[in-house]
A and B are shown apart, each in its own frame.
Chain A
Amino acid sequence: MKRALLALATLALATPAAAETVAIINARLETASPAGTIPSGTIVLRDGRILALGAGVSAPAGARVIDAAGGTVSPGLIAPSSSLTVTEVEQVTSTRDDRSGKLSAGFDISYGVNPASTMIPLARQTGLTRVVATPVLSRGGGGDGHKHDDGGAREFAGGGGGDDAEPMMFAGQAAIVGLAAGDLDPVVRARVAVTLDLGEAGARNAGGSRGAALVLVRAAFEDARAFARNRAAYDRGETREFGLSRVDLEALIPVVEGRTPLLVRVNRASDILQVLRLAREEKIKIILEGAAEGWLVAPQIAAAGVGVILDSQTDLPDSFESLAARLDNAARLQAAGVTVAIMGSRDLNNMRQQRFNAGLAVANGLPRDAAMATVTANVAKIWGMTGVGSLIVGQEADVVLWTGDPLETSSWPKAVFIGGVEQPQGARAFELRDRYATPGAMGYPPAYQ
Chain B
Amino acid sequence: MTSRLRAALAAAATAALLVGCATTGSTASTSAKPTASSPARPVPTGLDPATRPDPFPSTYAPLPSRLTAIRGASILTATGQVIDRGVIVFAEGRIVAVGGGDMAIPDGATVIDGTGKWVTPGIIDSHSHLGVYPSPGVASRSDGNEGIDPVTANVWAEHSIWPQDPGFNRARAGGVTTLQILPGSANLFGGRSVTVRNVPSVTMQGMKFPGAPYGLKMACGENPKRVYGGRSRAPATAMGNVAGYRRAWIDAADYGRRWDDYRAKIAKGERADPPKRDLGMDTLVGVLRGEILVQNHCYRADEMAVMIDVAKEFGYRITMFHHASEAYKVGALLAKEGICFATWADWQGFKMEAYDGIEANAAIAFRAGACTVIHSDDATITQRLNQEAAIAMAAGNRIGLKITEAEAIAWITINPAKALGIDGQTGSLVAGKRADVVLWSANPFSVYAQADKVFIDGALVYDRRDPRYQPKSDFELGQPGEGAFHP
Residues of chain A touching chain B, judged by Cβ–Cβ distance below 8 Å, are 89-92, 119, 145-152, 154-155, 158, 269, 293, 296, 313-320, 323-328, 331, 347-350, 352, 356, 359-360, 362-365, 407-412, 429-430, 432-434, 436-437, 439, 446
Contact = CB atoms under 8 A, between A and B. Distances in A.
B144 A154 contact: yes
A293 B447 CA distance: 24
Contacts of B222: 91, 152
B469 interface: no
B145 A89 contact: no
B480 A150 contact: no
Residue of B135, B358, B479 contacting most chain A CB atoms (<10 Å): B358
Contacts of A147: 137, 378
B282 interface: no
Interface string B141-159: 0101101000000000000
A316 B351 contact: no
A145 B351 CA distance: 13
B353 to A, nearest CB: 9
12 contacts: A90-B351, A150-B184, A150-B297, A151-B190, A316-B167, A316-B380, A323-B136, A347-B347, A349-B349, A365-B487, A439-B332, A446-B329
Contact of B347 (A317, A349, A410, A439): A349
Interface in B434-472: 445-450
Nearest to B185: A151
A432 B358 contact: yes
Nearest to A293: B480
A152 B223 contact: yes
Which 6 residue pairs spanning A and B have beta carbons closest together? A324-B481, A359-B447, A349-B349, A151-B185, A409-B390, A91-B351
A320 B140 CA distance: 13
Contacts of A347: 347, 349-350
Given A317-B136, A409-B445, A429-B358, A296 B480 contact: yes
Nearest to B350: A90
Given A319-B137, A349-B348, A409-B446, 11 more contacts: A150-B129, A155-B227, A315-B383, A319-B135, A323-B136, A325-B485, A349-B357, A408-B446, A410-B393, A437-B360, A439-B332
Contacts of B351: 89-92, 149, 152
Contacts of A90: 349-351
B356 A409 contact: no
Contact of B378 (A119, A148, A429): A148
Contacts of B391: 352, 356, 409
Contacts of A91: 222, 350-352
A430 to B, nearest CB: 8
Given A315-B485, A318-B136, A409-B387, A360 B350 contact: no
Contacts of A412: 394, 398
B317 interface: no
Residue of B129, B380, B384, B393 contacting most chain A CB atoms (<10 Å): B380
Residue of B384, B393, B475, B480 contacting most chain A CB atoms (<10 Å): B480
A348 B139 CA distance: 27
A350 B347 contact: yes
B368 interface: yes
Nearest to B132: A150
B138 interface: yes
B407 interface: no
B199 interface: no
B144 A436 contact: no
Interface of B: 129, 133, 135-139, 142, 144-145, 147, 166-167, 170, 182, 184-186, 190, 219, 222-223, 226-227, 297, 323, 328-329, 332, 346-352, 354-360, 364, 368, 377-380, 383-384, 387, 390-391, 393-394, 397-399, 401, 445-450, 475-476, 479-481, 483-487
A324 B479 contact: yes
A315 B170 contact: yes
Contact of A318 (B137, B323, B450, B483): B137
Contacts of A363: 447-450
A429 B398 CA distance: 14
A444 to B, nearest CB: 15
Contacts of B129: 150
Nearest to B301: A436
A327 B485 contact: yes
B186 A151 contact: yes
Contact of A316 (B166, B185, B448): B166
B377 A155 contact: no
Contacts of A430: 358
Contacts of A439: 332, 368
A426 to B, nearest CB: 13
A150 B349 contact: no
Contacts of A146: 347, 378, 380
B377 A148 contact: yes
B288 to A, nearest CB: 25
B51 to A, nearest CB: 33
Given A348-B349, A433-B328, A151 B227 contact: yes
A318 B133 CA distance: 10
A152 B185 contact: yes
A431 B383 CA distance: 31
Contacts of B486: 327
Nearest to A365: B487
A326 B167 contact: no
B476 A317 contact: yes
Residue of A146, A296, A350 contacting most chain B CB atoms (<10 Å): A350
Residue of B226, B481, B483, B484 contacting most chain A CB atoms (<10 Å): B481
Given A319-B138, A356-B387, A89 B379 contact: no
B329 A317 contact: no
B364 A437 contact: yes
Contact of B136 (A152, A314, A319): A319
A189 B184 CA distance: 42
Nearest to B142: A154
A269 B377 CA distance: 29
A360 B383 CA distance: 11
A316 B135 contact: yes
Contacts of A154: 133, 142, 144-145, 184
B223 A318 contact: no
Nearest to A152: B223
A316 B379 contact: yes
B137 A150 contact: no
B377 A316 contact: no
A358 to B, nearest CB: 9
A427 to B, nearest CB: 9
B133 A150 contact: yes
A350 B135 contact: no
Nearest to A429: B358
A317 B135 contact: yes
B387 A149 contact: no
Contacts of B190: 151
Nearest to A296: B480
Nearest to B400: A437
A53 B190 CA distance: 59
Given A318-B137, A325-B481, A327-B485, A349 B350 contact: yes
